[in-house]
Amino acid sequence: MKGVVWHGPRRMAVEEVPQPEPGPGAVVLRTGAAGICGSEVEGYLGRMGNRTPPLIMGHEFSGTVVAVGEGVDGGWLGRRVAVNPLISCGECRLCRTGHENLCPERAMVGIHRPGAFAEYVEVPAGGLHALPEEMDLRSAALAEPLANGVHAAGLGLERGPAELAVVMGAGTIGLMCLQAAVLSGIPEVWVLEPHDGRRARALELGASRALAPGAASEEAVREAAGGLGADLVLDAAGAGETRRAAARLARPGGTVVLVGLHEDETSLGFHDVVRRQIALQGSYAYTPRDFERALEWLASGEAGIGELPDPLPLEKGPDAFEELVRGPSDRVKVFLGEGA
């Protein structure tokens, strides 16, 4: 079969690779749509230490079950499915208490094992979610990034309700955080994003306001909150400046949820964090409940990213990565796969 193989920083090729066979408790899918994640672009550049070449990436995906392994219900054959690619042990204390995303033994399809930028991919049957007949495979592939937004918004609201939230960045994860915040009942959700087209998309998807980053926008946030700042800030970009801006934008006693992974190390003025009692909350991936909620919102049409592009053939994969390296565009999501 064909697979898009990453061999190291900015080295990627479409190659013939062995077609997987389903092991016990697993199935093989024919990939229908696999979204390229921002973390994969960072990985392509060699900035993600959890990815080791050679590797077939691809963890945001959906497809059709074409083979089942020992112990798997044969009723899955031919089913169109979304896949939760996060695999946990299910037995440790963290898994037992609902924190499967933090399992010490966790693994991710497309990071620790071959992913969906290929004609076929093997996945554990426990990660399968059957799709409604009318649901498009591209929409189903958005369940993984939306689950990240569901998890981040949920963590932000654990410390209490929010009247005003701000999302830093309007790429795919930013738009998912936006929609999760809106659908979680936060009355005002603003977005700060430098790209004109992405700000427009954020407004279409429910943002109360979408502004370019900068001092004037930060002042507008504070004015809207009576001079205090936002109750909740979700940083979906993960750059040093967006993290610092997120801390500035949070009100005293407010919460900053850190989702984006663009940069590793960031300098931050902690006197201000301490004196204004800002809570800094990391958010990693999602739990099975978050994934299910995300898929429900997508299936009902309550969430999405607007008109979806057709999946590109695998042969276009290396060029698509190079294009994404060049920076943001109006196209929020790029899919590889067969579609249908």
Residue 239: pLDDT band with limits 50, 70, 90:
very high
Instruction: Give the residue extent of every domain in the chain.
Output: 2-142+305-336, 146-282
Residue 286: pLDDT over 90: yes
Note if the bond before 213 is cis, omega within 30 degrees: no
DSSP calls for 128-194: EEEPPTT--HHHHHTHHHHHHHHHHHHHHHTT---SEEEEE--SHHHHHHHHHHHHTT-SEEEEE-S
Query: How far apart, in whole angstroms, are the C-alpha atoms of residue 148 and residue 200?
Result: 22
Q: What angle do CA 305, 306, 307 make, to 5 degrees?
A: 125
* pLDDT at site 137: 97
pLDDT of residue 278: 98
Q: Which amino acid is at 69?
A: G
130 backbone dihedrals φ, ψ, rounded to 5°: -65, 145
- Say what angle helices 172-183 and 288-300 make with each other, to 10 degrees: 90
* Three-class secondary structure of residue 251 per DSSP: strand
pLDDT score for 340:
58
Nearest to 136 by CA among 291, 3, 301, 288: 301
Mean model confidence pLDDT for the chain: 96
What is the C-alpha R_g of the chain? 20
Verdict on whether the full-model pTM lies above 0.85: yes
- Residue 210 banded pLDDT, cuts 50, 70, 90: very high
Residues of the chain above pLDDT 90, percent = 96
Residue 233: pLDDT band (50, 70, 90) is very high
Amino acid residing at 81:
V
Give the tens place of pLDDT for each residue, 163-209.
999 999 999 999 999 999 999 999 999 999 999 999 999 999 999 99
Selected from 3.40.50.620, 3.40.50.720, 3.90.180.10, 3.40.50.300, the CATH number assigned to the domain covering 2-142+305-336 reads 3.90.180.10
Ordered strands of the 209-211 beta sheet: 209-211, 188-192, 164-168, 230-235, 250-258, 279-282
Query: What mean pLDDT do residues 44-67 have?
Result: 96
pLDDT of residue 49: 85
Confidence grade of residue 329 (pLDDT, cut at 50, 70, 90): confident
- Domain 146-282 part of CATH 3.40.50.720: yes
| pLDDT single digits (tens) 106-162 | 999 999 999 999 999 999 999 999 999 999 999 999 999 999 999 999 999 999 999
Mean pLDDT of 239-262: 97
Tokens 């672009």 label which residue?
Answer: 41
Q: How far is CA 93 from CA 28, 85, 105, 108, in A?
A: 30, 21, 12, 19
Residue 113 gets which letter from DSSP?
A: B
In this prediction, residues 78-83 reach a mean pLDDT of 98
Whether 78 contacts 130, CB under 8 Å: no
d(CA 270, CA 340): 50
Q: Tell how strand 230-235 and strand 250-258 pair up.
A: parallel
Task: Report how far residue 122's alpha carbon sits from residue 104's, in angstroms, rounded to the nearest whole number.
Answer: 22
